[in-house]
Amino acid sequence: MSGFAYADLPAGEILIMIDDLLNPGESRQMINIESGKTYYFLVANNSSNVMAGAIGGFIGAVSEGGGRFAFYRISEEMALEQLKIKKLSGTSPP
């Protein structure tokens, strides 16, 4: 994936979810965000679920859980390097 998205959200607990319509399952994580802070996440293939899907098809991927993608919190320094090679894909509503 060569894009990025952003959301400007109020402080508190939020749910981040990545759902791929072409592949079964979803990745989700609850995080507590603080006012005035910026958080960066990298989305990558969930290699364990890609293998489960290849071996067991739809049933294998669903049983593995987590969806095709996983996301990880990364440092601002790493995010700024990644943003140099990405294009804005969209924004998420609050």
Q: What is the pLDDT of residues 44-89, one digit of tens each?
A: 777 664 444 444 444 433 333 456 777 888 899 998 988 888 888 7
Identify the pLDDT of residue 37: 94
73, 88, 60: which is closest to 16 by C-alpha? 73
Residue 24: count other Cβ atoms within 10 Å of its Cβ.
21
pTM: 0.65
Q: What is the pLDDT of residues 36-53, one digit of tens each?
A: 999 998 887 776 644 444
The token pair that represents 78 in the structure block? 């790493």
Long-range contacts of range 47-54, CB-CB < 8 Å, 24 or more positions apart? 49/25, 53/23, 53/24
Local confidence band at 10 (pLDDT 50, 70, 90 cut-offs): very high
Q: Report whether 28 contacts 16 (CB < 8 A).
A: yes
Q: Report whether 20 contacts 69 (CB < 8 A).
A: yes
